[in-house]
């Protein structure tokens, strides 16, 4: 069992930055692939980025490559998402998720989810 709690969302102007954090509790955090998904208003939830348990594999959605950076600290049981050069289309509820598979993209492969944190980017 893994519990995930996101923080760091908020309102930012286009071109600005935000850093999201996800704190995990439970056993064997370092065994899980961790990921960020987002759900824009009126749209389906979509993959943003994932990082494998040994930090050897990282994946990004094409829409965020070069702007977002995912990282994790297994000693602190945290995963972060540094978001730079934010655009209005990045507005969404951002979710942290955990999977025992190797950096999957499909949300159905993630077993544990946080409650989400709102990110709003104004133009």
In tens digits, the chain (123 residues) has pLDDT values of 899 999 999 999 999 999 999 999 987 888 899 999 999 999 999 999 999 987 679 999 999 999 999 999 988 999 999 999 999 999 999 999 999 888 899 999 999 999 999 999 999
pLDDT, residue 55, reads: 64
d(CA 92, CA 57): 25
Three-state secondary structure call for residue 2: strand
**Tokens matching residue 2:** 């893994």
- Note whether 98 and 68 are within 8 A (CB): no
pLDDT, residue 16, reads: 98
pLDDT, residue 60, reads: 97
Three-state secondary structure call for residue 108: helix
In 3D, which of 76, 75, 68, 57 has the Cα closest to residue 20?
68
Q: Which residues contact 103 (CB under 8 A, 6 or more apart)?
A: 33, 35, 50, 51, 52, 57, 58, 59
């Amino acid at each position: 069992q893994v519990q995930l709690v996101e923080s760091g969302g908020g309102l930012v102007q286009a071109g600005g930055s935000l850093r999201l954090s996800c704190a995990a509790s439970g056993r064997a955090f370092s065994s899980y692939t961790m990921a960020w998904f987002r759900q824009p208003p009126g749209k389906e939830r979509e993959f943003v980025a994932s990082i494998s348990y040994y930090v050897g594999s990282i994946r990004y959605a094409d829409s965020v490559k070069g702007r977002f950076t995912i990282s994790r600290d297994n000693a602190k049981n945290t995963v972060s998402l540094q978001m730079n050069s934010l655009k209005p289309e990045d507005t969404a509820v951002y979710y942290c998720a955990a999977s025992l598979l190797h950096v999957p993209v499909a949300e159905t492969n993630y077993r544990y989810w946080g409650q989400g944190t709102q990110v709003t980017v104004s133009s």
